[in-house]
Amino acid sequence: MGFFSAVKRIFGGTHSAGVKSEKAPRAEDARQTPAAAAAPDRAVAAASPAAANDEALTLRLREAEPRLSVWLGIILEGVDQAGDLLWQRLEFLLRALDAPAGEAAAFVADFQGWLARMEYRQVEEFRSELQYRLALALDLEDEEDERNRLFLKISEGLSRTREQFARGLDKLFAGHGELDEAFWEELEELFIMADLGYEASLELVQRLRERARREKVSQAAQARELLMAELEEIFRAPRRIMAVNPPEVVLLIGVNGVGKTTTIAKLAHRARMQGKTVMIAAADTFRAAAIEQLQVWAERVGALFHARPAGSDPAAVAYEAVDRAVKEGVDVLFVDTAGRLQTKVNLMEELTKIRQVLGKKHPGAPHRSILVIDATTGQNALSQTKLFKEAAGVDELILTKLDGTAKGGVAIAVAMQYHLPISFVGLGEKLEDLRPFNGADYARALLGQPGGGGRA
Amino acid sequence: MFESLSDRLSGVFRSFGGHGRLTEENVQAGLREVRLALLEADVNFKVVKDFVESVRVKCLGQEVLKGVSPAQQVVKIVHDELVSLLGGETAGLNLRGREPAVIMLVGLQGSGKTTSAGKIANLLRKQKMRPYLVPADVYRPAAIEQLTVLAGQLGMPVFPSTTQMKPVDIATAALERARAEQATVLLLDTAGRLHVDEPLMAELQALKAAVQPQEILFVADAMTGQDAVTVAETFNERLGLTGVVLTKMDGDARGGAALSIRSVTGAPVKFVGVGEKLSEMEVFHPDRIAGRILGMGDVLTLVEKAQSSINAEEAEELARKMQKASFDLEDFRTQMRRIKKLGSLDSILKMIPGLGGLREKLAEASGAVPEKELARTEAIINSMTMRERRNPDLLNGSRRARIAKGAGVSVAQVNQMVRQFEQMRQMMKGLMGGKAGKSGLPKMPRSLPGMGGFPGMGGLAGMGGMPGLPGMDGLGSGLPGGRASGAKSAAAKKRKKKERQKRRKK
């Protein structure tokens, strides 16, 4: 249970006020202006009886740049593998950040358990997971620090692909002086190669031309900014009501093999790290061993699990799961569904039924219906979005396997045509590799302008 | 969204007037359409470039054959070129040599390796082989269980792998075991991996060295986009692929990836996954997929599908009825149900060349999903007695009121449906009366354009066994317009009629 999110809840006023309330304001400060709260007085007080070593650390933490990665770097100095020293240091950091001792211990114990399961020993093997967990527990994910990690990860993926989009763009931007016909044509080709599809490429180029005219840009060198601004606009998601009547019900849908089950595991992991209680319902009763796969994940991330034998009616599984989730008062219920091709009418009707059943049992459910799309998919993603939207409604998209291709250009086409927000992207196989999607960062990574911190 | 290539090309060539020759100018314009069609089908950009160039060379200077329009000629050249690029003939597995033969399945995550392993095993058993399944995916949770369950469903032996074992150890031990159990072919299912994942790619090479597979099949998702090339290239460089399995072809993906993969690796597509059931794996036919990539429909598959759900005697009986216009509402309903069995109306129309455009017009004209209209029509017929169905003339006012009540529609809708059925029957009579083939079987109405020059289209003779189609053709216009005014649907019908005449002229 992440202590800071518990604190945050108190602040939100939705849950049990009380016990930790006197710490809440300070925690909130820590979130908004980490500089001021880098090492609150009490942390120093707590550290003072400890060894001189600790004092030196405290001093360094106070002087350091208030960033999670920097703090972690200081804490992990001289620690190269899991062991008592690491646990000590971790608790020290958490104490310094004003966490209640009990919850700090729980965090450390939870992490120890995870390390044992994964059989990791060396710091380098788990450093990024540790930072991820801390960021979630401390609610620091929106910080530049974390967003940079996302950016780096996407860029890393990009650099691996040989015919990379960014390199082509660089050449294009450098090779043309004026924005002439040849430039636009080459740009269109590049878009097509990134899976944008013909029509979307045409439209995007058209929009860029207009933007260039509007902003009186005539040099190819400035086209990068145009494109970046345009992409940001395409990915700008409209504001939505995020508050829900608990339990929040999240339905995952998509074609076969896009990674729905793994994505559920990752989402559940996130929610757990944010201190929520989670239940997973295995409504994929069709694919062989899908239930077992999900059960393994549920155990790993510490989520409740609801299933019926293979071959059961998926809508019935969903119904019972909501029932149980309401009774047991869980915060989030994730419903996995069997992969289905969008052209199978019967299967799409089954999805409609699942949706209706969820809504009947719990008003407002599913609060989020997420379409999972494989980033390597080509133009078919458009057809997927259209038909799934008709059958089950789609509120947001998750783009998986972006690490393999790092193009995912079809996401741009989908966003242009259907105006759906992309909430997360899958950047690898590890649990921490599901990252919140930020259009601006993605555009920056895709267009290959490395370095530099925050939002433009 | 997708127009078929032949429709587009005819548009282009029409604008050039009746040239009897393919010139630099008109070919250039035509090839632009070819290029777009291929890109929309997700064929890799670079592959498209090379392909278009080779077609251009072939096109230039060719005399347009008699009775064929320039558009048809180009489509034929493109089609032939595609088929030859895709491998020309159907390629089978090469399992000669040592027993048990080893087939190794590799690919990205989620491409469908495990399911394909089960399906191929099933196919091989039908060819009197004794398959042995070996799960070697020790990473994804429950992947081993998945293959074990599939093996159980097929009643096939499977190696008891565990996640503690190393894939190479699994493979070597399984080979021993398969030999002892006298299996003739071993199917090795590997974990999905990214082509850029160095350790895992090295593991595949080690696996290959350990079991010396006769076949290394690359399993690829038919929906893959431009990146298919990069992925397949890397797998091929590391392992030397011998074939490709294209999965999820039962969806609406055009499968352009097949062409990309083939052209960069040289490995032929050997199997195509066409459904979720273990029996739904087919041997690959280059000409069919060529048609699909070009958006020309997939008539052969439709014919096969239709033949499997309609038997020949019934078809002849129906044909006779149509000719005599004794085709009644009961027959109509039977046909409608058959069509439903073939899949969604949309997917059927898509398989018929040249009808792609009709789909949209249909939706436009009826202002609703055709499926819904079909359901309503069926409900109306269901509410009739058998006598009424056999003899629609019986339908007087009070009967119609009763039917409307029973079907939950208005009397006007019943009237409209009956009227349209009557029109359809007349139309059919005209169609069948004039054009019935020598055998007395209905030929496909010649509203299907651009079929003259196609290889494999000879199979269309088999269309005789497909009365569902003429029925449907009628349906297209006979579809009750629902809330849309009669005038509107009449206009749509006129448009369609015109179109048909146009096509007939060709």
Interface test mutation site (partner B, options A345, A405, A410, max chain B beta carbons within 10 A) = A405
Tell me how close the Cα of A439 comes to any Cα of chain B, in angstroms: 22
With CB atoms and an 8 Å threshold, state whether B146 touches A296: no
With CB atoms and an 8 Å threshold, state whether A341 touches B248: yes
User: Within 13 Å of residue B499, how many CA atoms lie on the same side as its CB?
Assistant: 20
Indicate whether A264 pLDDT > 80: yes
With CB atoms and an 8 Å threshold, state whether B196 touches A404: yes
Whole-number Å distance between alpha carbons of B205 and B235? 10
Chain A positions touching B41 (Cβ under 8 A) are 379
Whole-number Å distance between alpha carbons of A371 and A351? 12
Predicted local confidence at residue B298, as pLDDT: 54
Tokens 């994804």 belong to which residue?
B140
Q: Is the dihedral of CA B277, B279, B281, B287 positive or negative?
A: negative
Chain A positions touching B137 (Cβ under 8 A) are none
Mean pLDDT within B408-433: 80
**Contacts across the A-B interface (CB distance below 8 Å):** 146
Per-residue pLDDT reduced to its tens digit, B306-318: 655 556 666 667 6
Per-residue pLDDT reduced to its tens digit, A373-383: 998 888 889 98
Q: Is the predicted ipTM greater than 0.90, yes or no?
A: no
DSSP run (H or E) holding B325: none
Q: Is the dihedral of CA A25, A31, A33, A36 positive or negative?
A: positive
A374 and A400 Cβ atoms separated by less than 8 Å:
yes
A358 and A273 Cβ atoms separated by less than 8 Å:
no
Predicted local confidence at residue B481, as pLDDT: 32
Tokens of B368: 């609703």
With CB atoms and an 8 Å threshold, state whether A404 touches B110: no
Q: Which of B108, B153, B247 sits opposite A376 (nearest CB)?
A: B108
Q: A339 vs A316, B78, B233, CA distance in Å?
A: 17, 35, 28
CA B162 distance to own-chain centroid: 38
Residue of chain B whose Cα is closest to the Cα of A189: B45
Indicate whether A15 pLDDT > 80: no
Predicted local confidence at residue A41, as pLDDT: 44
Predicted local confidence at residue A24, as pLDDT: 38
Predicted local confidence at residue A357, as pLDDT: 93
Q: A367 vs A251, A370, A395, CA distance in Å?
A: 8, 10, 9
Mean pLDDT within B133-144: 92
**CB-neighbour burial class of residue A101 (10 A; exposed 0-12, middle 13-18, buried 19+):** exposed
B343 and B499 Cβ atoms separated by less than 8 Å:
no
Whole-number Å distance between alpha carbons of B84 and B88? 4
Eight-state DSSP code of residue B166: -
Mean pLDDT lowest for which of A148-162, B129-143, B459-473? B459-473
A395 and A368 Cβ atoms separated by less than 8 Å:
yes
With CB atoms and an 8 Å threshold, state whether B251 touches A380: yes
Q: A257 vs A342, B109, B112, CA distance in Å?
A: 13, 7, 7
Decide which of A156 and B329 is more confident. B329
Chain B positions touching A345 (Cβ under 8 A) are 343-344, 371
Tokens of A300: 């790993």
Predicted local confidence at residue A407, as pLDDT: 65
Interface test mutation site (partner B, options A301, A379, A383, A403, max chain B beta carbons within 10 A) = A379
Per-residue pLDDT reduced to its tens digit, A311-336: 899 999 999 999 999 999 999 999 99
Predicted local confidence at residue B135, as pLDDT: 95
> How many C-beta neighbours within 10 Å does residue B200 have?
16
Tell me how close the Cα of A284 comes to any Cα of chain B, in angstroms: 13
With CB atoms and an 8 Å threshold, state whether B153 touches A288: yes
Q: In DSSP terms, which residues pair with A175 in a beta bridge?
A: none
The reply to whether the predicted model has a pTM over 0.80 is no
Per-residue pLDDT reduced to its tens digit, A74-99: 888 888 888 888 888 888 888 888 87
Per-residue pLDDT reduced to its tens digit, B492-506: 444 444 545 544 444
Predicted local confidence at residue A260, as pLDDT: 92
Indicate whether A147 pLDDT > 80: no
With CB atoms and an 8 Å threshold, state whether B227 touches A198: no
Whole-number Å distance between alpha carbons of B231 and B246? 14
Q: Which of B45, B146, B149 sits opposite A189 (nearest CB)?
A: B45
With CB atoms and an 8 Å threshold, state whether B141 touches A401: no
Residue of chain A whose Cα is closest to the Cα of B112: A257
With CB atoms and an 8 Å threshold, state whether B226 touches A379: no
Predicted local confidence at residue B78, as pLDDT: 84
Chain B positions touching A374 (Cβ under 8 A) are 110, 221, 223
Mean pLDDT lowest for which of A132-136, A261-265, A290-294? A132-136
Per-residue pLDDT reduced to its tens digit, B439-473: 333 333 333 333 333 333 322 332 333 333 333 33
> How many C-beta neighbours within 10 Å does residue B411 have?
14
Chain B positions touching A409 (Cβ under 8 A) are 225-226
Indicate whether B195 pLDDT > 90: no
Q: Which of A286, A379, A405 sits opposite B42 (nearest CB)?
A: A379
Chain A positions touching B360 (Cβ under 8 A) are none
With CB atoms and an 8 Å threshold, state whether A341 touches B250: yes
Per-residue pLDDT reduced to its tens digit, A187-227: 888 888 888 888 888 899 999 999 999 988 888 878 888 88
Chain B positions touching A167 (Cβ under 8 A) are none
Chain B positions touching A429 (Cβ under 8 A) are 139
- H/E/C letters for each residue in chain A? CCHHHHHHHHHHCCCCCCCCHHHHHHHHHHHHCHHHHCCCHHHHHHHCCCCHHHHHHHHHHHHCCCCHHHHHHHHCCCCCECCHHHHHHHHHHHHHCCCCHHHHHHHHHHHHHHHHHHCCCEHHHHHHHHHHHHHHHCCCCCCHHHHHHHHHHHHHHHHHCCCCHHHHHHHHHHHCCECCHHHHHHHHHHHHHCCCCHHHHHHHHHHHHHHHHHCCCCEHHHHHHHHHHHHHHHHCCCCCCCCCCCCEEEEEECCCCCCHHHHHHHHHHHHHHCCCCEEEEEECCCCCCHHHHHHHHHHHHCCEEECCCCCCCHHHHHHHHHHHHHHHCCCEEEEEECCCCCCCHHHHHHHHHHHHHHHHHCCCCCCEEEEEEECCECCHHHHHHHHHHHHHCCCEEEEECHHHHCCCCHHHHHHHHHCCCEEEEECCCCHHHEEECCHHHHHHHHCCCCCCCCCC
Q: Are strands A422-426 and A434-436 parallel, antiparallel or unpaired?
A: antiparallel
CA angle at residue B58 from B55 to B61, to 5 degrees?
130
Q: Which amino acid is at B140?
A: R
Decide which of B82 and B326 is more confident. B82
With CB atoms and an 8 Å threshold, state whether A341 touches B143: no
Q: Which amino acid is at A328?
A: E
CA angle at residue B476 from B474 to B482, to 5 degrees?
115
Predicted local confidence at residue A289, as pLDDT: 87
Per-residue pLDDT reduced to its tens digit, B375-413: 888 889 999 998 888 888 888 889 999 999 999 999 998
Tokens of A203: 């439209």
Whole-number Å distance between alpha carbons of A360 and A357? 5
Chain B positions touching A380 (Cβ under 8 A) are 42, 223, 251-253
CA angle at residue B177 from B174 to B182, to 5 degrees?
125
Interface test mutation site (partner A, options B119, B226, B292, max chain A beta carbons within 10 A) = B226
- At B170, is the pLDDT very low, low, confident or very high (cuts 50, 70, 90)? very high
With CB atoms and an 8 Å threshold, state whether B109 touches A401: yes
Tell me how close the Cα of B191 comes to any Cα of chain A, in angstroms: 13
Chain B positions touching A256 (Cβ under 8 A) are 110, 112, 248, 276
Indicate whether A180 pLDDT > 60: yes
With CB atoms and an 8 Å threshold, state whether B149 touches A289: yes
Binding-face residues of A in 270-289 toward B, CB within 8 A: 286-289
Mean pLDDT within A22-31: 40
Chain A positions touching B230 (Cβ under 8 A) are 161-163, 405
> How many C-beta neighbours within 10 Å does residue B139 have?
15
Q: Please state, for a pLDDT cut of 90, what percent of chain B lies above it.
A: 28
